[in-house]
Every structure is written in C-alpha cells, then in structure tokens.
Chain A
C-alpha cells in the first residue's frame, strides 16, 4: 500500500497512526503474497496479522477519542463503521483458527482489508478534516 500526503487529515496523532496502519497492513500483505509454500510462511503471516490487528484496535480507539474531543457530529456513524470492521476481523480470526489456518481465507481477508482501509482513510476519515475546517472557518468569522 502506498501512503499519500493527500490522506492526511491535519491531526498529527491520527495522521501518524494512519501511516503506521498502512505500514502494518503492507507488511501483512507482503508476507502473505511472498513466494514460497504456505506451510513455510504461515507462522510469519500469523505474526504480522496479530501485529496489524492490535494496531487497528488502538487506532480506532484513539480516533474515536479525538472525535469525542472535537464533538464530531458524525461520531456515532463512524463508531458503527469501526465496530463493524472490528467484528469482521474478530470473526475472520476465529474462522481462520477453527479451520486450521487456511491460506484461501487469509487471501480473501487481505484483499477486502486493503480496499476497505484505503476507502476509510481516503474518504470516510476525510469528513473529520472537513468538519474541523468548517469549525475553524466559523470561529474566524
């Protein structure tokens, strides 16, 4: 995944976390997509999966705290989107373990996560920046 300056929302903590999230998802996808037998890379895939999963939860928590701080009007809907994603990740992780760490499920998960994350950062989170900007404009009037 390629981090782009245009993804920044202008809040250093959130921007740094988004960039770190991109790095961790990239590491997970690169490990998953690397050449070699699945049996040889499954341990490394699982390690990067857990590394990435933990950070998703941390980031969502911090981003929601920021939204509360600025009284973001779209907070309830944004939290629902976060919760749905966390639930999806939890369900996939359970299925992955239950079915014995199959590659097919992880490839499907990674593909969806890739597109979801780009959309979330490039579109959904940009609404926070738009709100902050509109609030600043009102305060300057």
Chain B
C-alpha cells in the first residue's frame, strides 16, 4: 500500500482529534504489523471500504482513552463502555473515515465507507481482519490510538 492511500486516514484522524476533542497529537512512522496484539483491552472500530479500494480501516482505542474522549465531548464522567460510548466513538470513526475518503477523491480514488462495527475487546470478529496491516500510533494526552489499514486497489 502506498503512502498516498495511508496518509489521508492518518491526517483525518489527527485533524478530528484536534478539532473535535481539542487534543494535541503526534504520529509514529507507519509500520507493517503481521498480527494485532492487545485487542482485548481496547475498543476496536472497523470501517469497511468499497469502490476503487476494498478493505478495512481499524481504529483501536484503549478503554480508558475511549472514556476520556467521550467525556471531553459531552462534559460528563463516563465510567463504563456502554451503548452511548460505543455509538459516539463509532460516529467519530465514521467522520474520520468520511473525511479521509474525501481526501482520496482528490487523488481520483473514489470510495465509499460502510457503517462502523464496534467490537469491545478482541475475539472472533477481529480475527476476520486481513493481515498484514499498515499501522501508525496516534499519540494524544489521553492515550495512544492505533490506526491500522488493510486495503487493496480494485483497478
């Protein structure tokens, strides 16, 4: 996968965290992961991609980071990963991915996204994500979020 496909997702994630959550962000250099570890302790959000590209985008939020991010949005303490929290974070992943495919369209790559699938912890659904993935860590003051991308071109 070339950097031209990866960078719109990384950029859109950073911009959303800054704009919507007022977080300072930095990213690590992208690396290829042959396996996804520590998914059990995370809120994992998968967004499917269709069109000129096929594949999946995976956002992995530590549970504490997830609660902090929703707290920032609604101004209320969040104590558990419940339907309200997973739905809010699913929408954040949806917004990021939508902005990223708008970025891709500037390279004449036309894609659509599927509704977010939120998986709290690892397990069988996450095992369905094709490997390897290209991954970066988005570092914030409320924790590090992993962004993994596994897509291939259809043309």
Contact = CB atoms under 8 A, between A and B. Distances in A.
Nearest to A104: B83
Contacts of A2: 75
Contacts of B86: 108, 111
A115 B75 contact: no
A11 interface: no
A115 B83 contact: no
A123 B18 CA distance: 11
Contacts of B76: 29-30, 33
Chain A: interface size category: 20 to 34
Interface in B88-129: 88-92, 95
Contacts, number: 62
A124 to B, nearest CB: 10
B91 A107 contact: no
Interface centre among B70, B86, B88, B95 (most CB of A within 10 A): B88
A16 B92 CA distance: 25
A109 B92 CA distance: 14
Given A115-B92, A115-B95, A119-B95, A107 B73 contact: no
Interface residues of B, number: 20
B82 A107 contact: yes
A26 B75 CA distance: 9
Interface string A1-37: 1100000000000000000000000100110110000
A115 B84 contact: no
Given A115-B95, A123-B20, A108 B74 contact: no
Contacts of A32: 84
Contacts of A42: none
Nearest to B90: A112
Contacts of B70: 111, 114
Contact of B73 (A30, A109, A114, A123): A114
Interface of A: 1-2, 26, 29-30, 32-33, 104, 107-112, 114-116, 118-119, 122-123
Given A29-B74, A108-B83, A114-B70, 6 more contacts: A108-B84, A110-B84, A110-B87, A111-B87, A115-B20, A123-B19
